[in-house]
Amino acid sequence: MKTGILACIAALAASPAFADEAAYRIDPTHTFPSFEADHLGLSVWRGKFDRNSGLLTFDKARGTGTITVAVDMSSVDFGLDVLDRWAQGAEFFDVMKFSQTIYQGRFSGFKAGEEPRVTGELTLHGVTKPVDLKVNFFKCMQHPVEKRDWCGADALATINRDEFGLGIGKEFGLGMQVTLRIQVEAIAVR
């Protein structure tokens, strides 16, 4: 999958329409998509995914670009091994059948004085739905060690998990809304 994403980015970067866009590789050691979900109205359960990959393109002058992130669903981490194993199983994420979740989006307004927006689609559990991200924070700077452009953002979205075929517990009163929190860092591809 990584090879396919890299080939796509290389082709885009070579085309005249995207000549001013730079390619960035998502840093999986500084990117941990996380989530918050209701537990019967008693508490909010939180977890994260430990493995991910992806690429983005960014045109600083226009404040536009694209993003593709792949999340390894077997890396779900609630901080409780028994719950992690259950979530990976056929009753919930079914990682043997749906090993990855993919988010693909286009962004705009990523420059001073504009409101940053990401419009995209989330493919989760074999279902693809529109999901737009609210961007709380975005910044680019030179990486102090790598001496390359480095960008980071904090974004979030709320989805209804039953719309993605993950409705278990609804009959017991578990809330279906899940807040996705995405903190991401990416470094320019040489």
Tell me the residue ranges of DSSP E strands in 50-176.
52-59, 64-72, 76-77, 100-108, 117-124, 127-142, 149-160
- Flag whether pLDDT at 172 surpasses 70: yes
Q: If you average pLDDT over residues 13-22, what whole number do you get? A: 60
pLDDT tens, position by position, 38-69: 988 899 999 999 999 999 999 989 999 999 99
Q: Backbone phi, then psi, for 52, in 5-degree steps?
A: -155, 165
What SS3 class is residue 51? coil
> What is d(CA 154, CA 169) in angstroms, rounded to the nearest whole number?
30
> What is d(CA 47, CA 74) in angstroms, rounded to the nearest whole number?
13
Task: Output DSSP code: residue 159.
Answer: E
Among all chains, which residue has been given the structure tokens 């001073």?
A: 112
Among all chains, which residue has been given the structure tokens 């307004």?
A: 109
Q: Quick check: 185 and 168 in contact, CB under 8 A?
A: no
Structural domains present in the chain: 2-188 (2.40.128.110)
For 27, the token pair is 């840093």
| pLDDT for the residue 13 | 47
Give the pTM: 0.85
